[in-house]
Amino acid sequence: MSVKAILDEKGRNVLTIGPQASVRDAAKLLNDNHIGAVIVIDRGDHIAGILAERDIVSAIARQGVDCLEKSVSSIMWPNVYRCREETTIGELMSLMSAKRARHVPVEKNGHLAGIISIGDVVKAHIRAIEREAEEIKAYIAG
């Protein structure tokens, strides 16, 4: 199974924010939409960074609540790990595990094409295992 298959099933809608938005605005966006990370997009619609809930919590712990008025670019993670639609679930699981990334944007032709969370990967992996088990049962019974 590939990243494209997951995106085809779950959709490609990704919430984004600009690097100059406030951390407070980003926190509200995450909370209001029940998501764990937001992609930071520059003026050219390219991925500039990623901001996750844990980045905000870490900033508050280090800097206090004043960090909520700072720009997203001041606390975002600029070195974004990315994947492509052709990336397999196995490759993505290895990347997420090795880099401890819970969210990985999908890039196509240099632009954002979707986002995959660790939950999406786990669900897809479980579905594949269940499908394989059913095929084995059918083979044995048949």
pLDDT of residue 38: 97
d(CA 91, CA 99): 12
pLDDT tens for each residue of the chain, 142 residues long: 899 999 999 999 999 999 999 999 999 999 999 999 999 999 888 899 999 999 999 999 999 999 999 999 999 999 999 999 999 999 999 999 999 999 999 999 888 999 999 999 999 888 888 988 998 988 898 7
Find where tokens 């499908």 sit. 131
Q: Within 13 A of 3's CA, how many CA atoms are on the CB side?
A: 24
Alpha carbon distances (Å) from 6 to 61, 71, 113, 116: 35, 32, 12, 8
In 3D space, the residue among 40, 70, 77, 73 whose CA is nearest the CA of residue 55 turns out to be: 77
For residues 138 and 99, the answer to whether their CB atoms sit within 8 Å is no
The model's pTM is: 0.85
Class of domain 3-141: alpha beta
Q: Give the start-to-end residue ranges of the domains of the chain.
A: 3-141
